Structure 1
Amino acid sequence: MNDAQATTIASNLDTVRAEIRAAEQRWNRAPGSVSLLAVSKRHPVAAIEAAIAAGQHAFGENYLQEAEEKRHALTDADIEWHFIGPLQSNKTRAVAEGFDWVHAVDRLKIAQRLSAQRPSELAPLNCCIQVNVSGEGSKSGVAPDEVTPLAHEVASLPGLRLRGLMTLPEAVVDFAAQRQAFRQLAELQAELVQQGLNLDTLSMGMTNDLEAAIAEGATLVRIGTAVFGPRPEKTHE
Structure 2
Amino acid sequence: MSTIAANLQAVEATIGAACTSAGRARNEVQLLAVSKTFPAEAVVEAMAAGQRAFGENYLQEALDKMQEVARLQPATPVEWHFIGPIQSNKTRPIAAHFDWVHTVERLKIAQRLSEQRPPELGPLDICLQVNISGEASKSGAGEDELPELARQVAALPNLRLRGLMAIPERANDEAQQRAAFARLRALFDALRAQGMALDTLSMGMSGDLGAAIAEGATIVRVGSAIFGARNYE
Report the TM-score, using the length of structure 2 for normalisation: 0.96
Report the CA distance between 1:233 and its aligned residue: 2.6
- Write the distance in 1 (CA, Å) between the matches of 2:14 and 2:147: 33
> What is the CA deviation profile of residues 93-118 of structure 1, one whole-angstrom value per residue up to 9, with x for unaligned ones?
00100000000000000000000000
- Write the distance in 2 (CA, Å) between the matches of 1:74 and 1:8: 19
1:88 aligned onto 2:87: yes
Q: What secondary structure does 1:202 align onto?
A: strand
Which consecutive residues of structure 2, in runs of 5 or more, have no partner in the other structure? none
Q: Which residue of 2 aligns with 1:31?
A: 26
- Write the distance in 2 (CA, Å) between the matches of 1:208 and 1:196: 33
- Write the distance in 2 (CA, Å) between the matches of 1:17 and 1:233: 25
CA contact (8 A) 1:104 1:129 kept: yes
- Write the distance in 2 (CA, Å) between the matches of 1:157 and 1:73: 32
| One-letter amino acid of the structure 1 residue matched with residue 48 of structure 2 | A
Q: State how 1:11-160 maps to structure 2 within 5 Å.
A: 11-75=6-70, 76=74, 77-160=76-159
CA contact (8 A) 1:43 1:232 kept: no
Report the CA distance between 1:157 and its aligned residue: 0.5
Report the CA distance between 1:146 and its aligned residue: 0.9
Q: What secondary structure does 2:55 align onto?
A: strand
1:196 aligned onto 2:179: no
| One-letter amino acid of the structure 1 residue matched with residue 20 of structure 2 | Q
Q: Which residue of 1 aligns with 2:175?
A: 176
- Write the distance in 1 (CA, Å) between the matches of 2:152 and 2:232: 38
- Write the distance in 2 (CA, Å) between the matches of 1:197 and 1:166: 16
Report the CA distance between 1:122 and its aligned residue: 1.0
Report the CA distance between 1:204 and its aligned residue: 0.2
CA contact (8 A) 1:59 1:82 kept: yes
- Write the distance in 1 (CA, Å) between the matches of 2:38 and 2:137: 24
| One-letter amino acid of the structure 1 residue matched with residue 202 of structure 2 | S
Report the TM-score, using the length of structure 1 for normalisation: 0.95
1:7 aligned onto 2:2: yes
Report the CA distance between 1:232 and its aligned residue: 1.9
| One-letter amino acid of the structure 2 residue matched with residue 213 of structure 1 | A
Q: What secondary structure does 2:27 align onto?
A: coil
Report the CA distance between 1:144 and its aligned residue: 0.9
Aligned residues with identical type, % of pairs = 60
Report the CA distance between 1:78 and its aligned residue: 1.7
Question: What RMSD in Å do the two structures reach over aligned CA positions?
Answer: 0.9
> What is the CA deviation profile of residues 37-76 of structure 1, one whole-angstrom value per residue up to 9, with x for unaligned ones?
0000001111101000000000000000100100111222
- Write the distance in 1 (CA, Å) between the matches of 2:144 and 2:207: 27
Tell me which moved more, 70-79 or 195-204.
70-79
Moved segments of 4+, more than 2 Å: none
Q: What secondary structure does 1:170 align onto?
A: coil
- Write the distance in 1 (CA, Å) between the matches of 2:160 and 2:173: 34
Q: What secondary structure does 2:101 align onto?
A: strand
Q: What secondary structure does 1:48 align onto?
A: helix
